[in-house]
Amino acid sequence: MGVGAAVTFFEAGADYAAFRPTYPADVVKHIRELAPQARVLIDVGAGTGQLTAELQRDFLLAVGVDPSLSQAHAAGGVPMVVATAESLPFATESVDVITVAQAIHWVDVPAFLAEARRVARPGALLWIVSYGVAQLDPGGGLEQVFSDFYWGPFHRFWEPQRSIVDDELRSVEPLIPGAIREEEFLDQHMTCEQFVGYLNTWSSARSPEARSELDAFVGELSAQWTDGQTRLVRWPLTVLHTTL
């Protein structure tokens, strides 16, 4: 599936911006360290421009690319172009850095790589990041509750390409020549309401049947998370990078 096929899943751009995790500062710094002389960056599958906004101050030009008009509108002041990863509206050899943040599973990877090579200047950086399956309350009472739900019957509602997220980019890595793999964790403390907001951004929860099962789980979770306190949510974070 190309990025364009994902448009209908991400109509609620404002919710996506509010409840999705944000990237650690060292992850953003890593891009600049890998491409210290770069001037022009495009962030493919930018969504609401979370990463693009962080990168604006480090590049002469940082532009988000996303097929969803509502996501682009939610990006605020971030420069955005409505387009797909497989048909990038940029001139040949015009880009120094191409980032893909939590979007490679929506992409036709071979077609995207061909486009990336076209728009990339010689030696340009391709940098892909994905956070995997969340751990809620690691080591605590809610960890298994959430894990059982995610990997249980509800998992049938995920799109097939969700496996790329589940396997932490291992199935994509062989498609990217010379890819270097780096791993860390993305930690965020969330209230029950914030975590439920995150669940509501899932593309798997769009059908009435899926919505009903997710709502039932939210009721179960809320009944066990009654103290009003935040819990740690931990995502495994994987970066693949290479030069083009």
For 126-174, what is each residue's pLDDT tens digit?
999 999 999 999 999 999 999 999 999 999 999 999 999 999 999 999 9
Range of the domain at 84: 3-132+159-188+235-243
> Rounded to an integer, what distance in angstroms lies between the CA atom of residue 240 and that of residue 129?
6
Tell me the CA distances in angstroms from 58 to 28, 41, 87, one per residue in order. 10, 10, 26
Q: Which two tokens stand for residue 65?
A: 């690319």
Average pLDDT, the chain: 90
CB 222 within 8 A of CB 171: no
Total number of domains in the chain: 1
> Rounded to an integer, what distance in angstroms lies between the CA atom of residue 38 and that of residue 32?
8
Q: Which two tokens stand for residue 158?
A: 């995920």
Share of the chain above pLDDT 70, in %: 90
Predicted TM-score of the model (pTM) = 0.88
Share of the chain above pLDDT 90, in %: 76
> Rounded to an integer, what distance in angstroms lies between the CA atom of residue 146 and that of residue 33?
36
pLDDT score, position 70: 60
Instruction: Check which CATH number belongs to the domain holding 60 and give it.
Output: 3.40.50.150
Model confidence over 30-86: pLDDT tens digits?
A: 999 999 999 999 999 998 888 898 898 889 999 999 997 666 555 567 889 999 999
Q: Is residue 68 part of a domain?
A: yes
> Rounded to an integer, what distance in angstroms lies between the CA atom of residue 65 and that of residue 160?
23
Q: Is residue 203 part of a domain?
A: no
Q: Is residue 230 part of a domain?
A: no
